[in-house]
Chain A
Amino acid sequence: MSAATVASPPGRPSLAGDSLTLTYRALAHWRRDPGPLAGALAFNILIVLMFAYLFGGALQVPGGGSYREFLMPGMFAMTMLFGISQTTMAVSADAERGVTDRLRSMPVSRLAPLLGRALADMLFAVVTLAVMLLAGLAVGWRAHGGPGDTLAALGLILLLRLALTWVGIYLGLVTKGAGAVTAVQTLEFPLGFLSSAFVAPSTMPAWLGAVAEWNPLSATVGATRELFGNPGWGGEGWVAAHHPLLAVLWPLALVAVFVPLSLRRYRALGG
């Protein structure tokens, strides 16, 4: 093949093709450098063990029931939340190393780098969730609902991750280096712990409990507890009665906000 044939017929930017190539790029990265991913998985398992055996004895489930059964749906949602770091760091690292500039100087569809990132992170989220299910089974958690309910619960968990992926992409586009780490942690910790993942909002001061109840994470956790047939926190208000609805609406709302925001931000990199 001569250089001339390469120069001749330009192809056309293709959103699907470009996105898949960039997903492949992320996967190739992980294959070459699996350390950080293995670390993230190990961290998740560690947290499960810590809560199941260390804090579990001290925590009461409202209305009785096994704390580990109560815990695991919270843990599933929590690992989806912690996945944001990976998304934000990857996006911010690309911008910092000039990879984003190179892609923007190439005939690559504008949404493709973002979609490619989202797709790769969703694939890893599926792996993460599978590992978490195994960890849950190992500490005595069970899904008691039918296969349909269980699948629906897993779907809601991944839907939450999809929404959070776009939040992570946006954060990666607006922050740099150490700022990205700070931004993600500032988001992760309140969002994670100010929820019904580990403790019942009814045990918190009223105003804090209300915040925790309305937390998108709590909606997913509440809905999946119902679908898995695990003990919940038994709240009484409107929110508690509409967990499944909120578990769908919250992520969709986040996607509806953060996809356009991210795309706008990506285009605006051109000042």
Chain B
Amino acid sequence: MEHAIIAEGLRKRYGDTAALDGFDLRVPPGTVCGLLGPNGAGKTTAVRILATLLRFDAGRAEVAGFDVARQADRVRYRIGLVGQRPALDEALSGRENLVILGRLFHLGRSQARARAGELLERFGLADAGGAPVRTYSGGMRRRLDLAAGMIRTPSVLFLDEPTTALDPRGRNEVWESVRDLVRAGTTVLLTTQYLDEADQLADRICVLDAGRVIAEGTPDALKSRLGGDRIDLVVRDARDLATAAERLRRVATAEPVVDPDRRAVSAQVDDRAGALTAVLRALDADGVTVADVALRRPTLDEVFLRLTGRPTERVDATVEVPA
């Protein structure tokens, strides 16, 4: 199997809105693909289609070697789905949740019980396994939910915004678990609005906008292809900001961005070291005191802004297409 997930020209409409408009994706086995994009870009729709939850209007999709539309049951034995909110029985214990799901995956009674024990152990929930889920912390719930998506050791695991509403500690716990799964050979399709999450977990990132993949690559490749390196300067005196911007413009490959509140100016450059040396020398000659300087790769936020022409914050406000 060359690809664990294949999507070709997927289209899905809700009334007048195209949730997916020619969505293409290929994910090699054993890798993490991050689907990145604002609300309403079609991330959740794509995941729901690939997880056999949603019918689509046109195109073709294969998951774990089986056709999503025609061999849905075979796909279902090979996938795990972890949605935006933990899909758990609050009243039942962690163990009961997993045993019932194991039975629904048609494991035998003792097999389901053994698997539940194994997963609780693996996700660090062995001690809490007998307690009702409603007593769990947010991070514990997510881990149990991940375990629930892993009952049959899925070839492909879908994670739809797995760390939404988690504190940093909870996010780290979930990230660690995901890395473990991938080490064990599972392919992961991850949707996220958090750029650092994609940066942390994904081998490749697909940036989605208006139901279509508009850019694709490793996080590093995406950043350098679309941004190049950047120089950030902070001046001590706000009156020097214009001078700093002018000096930076001479070495930059794009118009510098000025942030008066932070007394900062930032621009994209090609020749990292040369540009930095030149701009600092010029500012020194001008008598401008530089309070801080940094040479860095662009953030995915900046990449996204460049790709879509909109910052992530602003498009977050758009309404999610019902899935």
Q: Which A positions have Cβ atoms within 8 angstroms of B?
A: 1, 3-4, 6-7, 10-14, 17-18, 21-22, 24-25, 28-29, 32-33, 97-99, 101-108, 269-271
- Can you list 17 A-B contacts with CB-CB less than 8 angstroms, sorted by A residue number? A1-B114, A6-B152, A12-B106, A21-B100, A24-B100, A28-B92, A97-B87, A101-B48, A102-B101, A103-B104, A105-B53, A105-B79, A107-B76, A108-B104, A269-B53, A270-B53, A270-B54
CB distance from A109 to the nearest CB of B (A): 10
Q: Is the CB of B73 within 8 A of A13?
A: yes
With both beta carbons as reference points, the residue of chain B lying nearest to A103 in the complex is identified as: B104
* A22 neighbours in B (Cβ, 8 Å): 104
Which of B55, B106, B132 contacts A271 (CB under 8 A)? B55
How long is the Cα–Cα vector from A189 to B259 in the complex, in angstroms?
63
How long is the Cα–Cα vector from A25 to B101 in the complex, in angstroms?
10
* A18 neighbours in B (Cβ, 8 Å): 104
* B34 adjacent to chain A (CB < 8 Å): no
* B282 adjacent to chain A (CB < 8 Å): no
With both beta carbons as reference points, the residue of chain B lying nearest to A30 in the complex is identified as: B91
Q: Is the CB of A107 within 8 A of B83?
A: no
B-side interface residues, number (CB < 8 Å): 44
Which one of A4, A6, A14 has the highest number of Cβ atoms from chain B below 10 Å of its Cβ? A6
Q: Is the CB of A21 within 8 A of B104?
A: yes
Q: A98-B85, A102-B81 are in contact. List 14 more A-B contacts (CB 8 A).
A: A1-B111, A1-B118, A24-B100, A28-B89, A29-B89, A32-B93, A97-B86, A97-B87, A101-B87, A103-B104, A107-B106, A270-B54, A270-B55, A271-B14
* B86 neighbours in A (Cβ, 8 Å): 97-98
* B81 neighbours in A (Cβ, 8 Å): 101-102, 105
Q: Is the CB of B106 within 8 A of A3?
A: no
Q: Digitize B34-54: 1 where CB-to-A-CB distance is under 8 Å, 0 elsewhere.
A: 000000000000001001111
CB distance from B94 to the nearest CB of A (A): 12
How long is the Cα–Cα vector from A108 to B106 in the complex, in angstroms?
9
CB distance from A238 to the nearest CB of B (A): 47
* A7 neighbours in B (Cβ, 8 Å): 152-153, 155
Q: Which B positions have Cβ atoms within 8 angstroms of A?
A: 12, 14, 48, 51-55, 73-74, 76-77, 79, 81, 83-89, 91-93, 96, 100-101, 103-107, 111, 114-115, 118, 132, 148, 151-153, 155, 184, 323
Which of A17, A98, A101, A102 contacts B106 (CB under 8 A)? A17
With both beta carbons as reference points, the residue of chain B lying nearest to A13 in the complex is identified as: B73
How long is the Cα–Cα vector from A110 to B95 in the complex, in angstroms?
25
With both beta carbons as reference points, the residue of chain A lying nearest to B79 in the complex is identified as: A105
* B48 neighbours in A (Cβ, 8 Å): 101
CB distance from A145 to the nearest CB of B (A): 41
* A17 neighbours in B (Cβ, 8 Å): 103, 106
With both beta carbons as reference points, the residue of chain A lying nearest to B80 in the complex is identified as: A105
How long is the Cα–Cα vector from A25 to B100 in the complex, in angstroms?
7
Which of B52, B88, B106, B107 contacts A14 (CB under 8 A)? B106
CB distance from A141 to the nearest CB of B (A): 35
- Are A32 and B53 CB-contacts (below 8 A) given A18-B104, A105-B79, A107-B76? no
With both beta carbons as reference points, the residue of chain A lying nearest to B84 in the complex is identified as: A98
How long is the Cα–Cα vector from A28 to B101 in the complex, in angstroms?
13
Which of B54, B87, B96 contacts A28 (CB under 8 A)? B96
With both beta carbons as reference points, the residue of chain A lying nearest to B323 in the complex is identified as: A271
Q: Is the CB of A98 within 8 A of B87?
A: yes
Q: Is the CB of B152 within 8 A of A99?
A: no
Q: Is the CB of B115 within 8 A of A6?
A: yes
CB distance from A86 to the nearest CB of B (A): 14
How long is the Cα–Cα vector from A130 to B53 in the complex, in angstroms?
41
CB distance from A120 to the nearest CB of B (A): 13
Q: Is the CB of A105 within 8 A of B92?
A: no
How long is the Cα–Cα vector from A10 to B75 in the complex, in angstroms?
11
Which of B73, B77, B89, B111 contacts A25 (CB under 8 A)? B89
Which of B83, B93, B106 contacts A10 (CB under 8 A)? B106
How long is the Cα–Cα vector from A3 to B102 in the complex, in angstroms?
13
Which one of A12, A17, A33, A101 has the highest number of Cβ atoms from chain B below 10 Å of its Cβ? A101
Q: Is the CB of A10 within 8 A of B52?
A: no
How long is the Cα–Cα vector from A14 to B105 in the complex, in angstroms?
10
Query: Which 7 residue pairs are nearest across A and B when measured between Cβ atoms?
Result: A11-B106, A98-B87, A33-B91, A10-B77, A107-B76, A105-B81, A102-B87
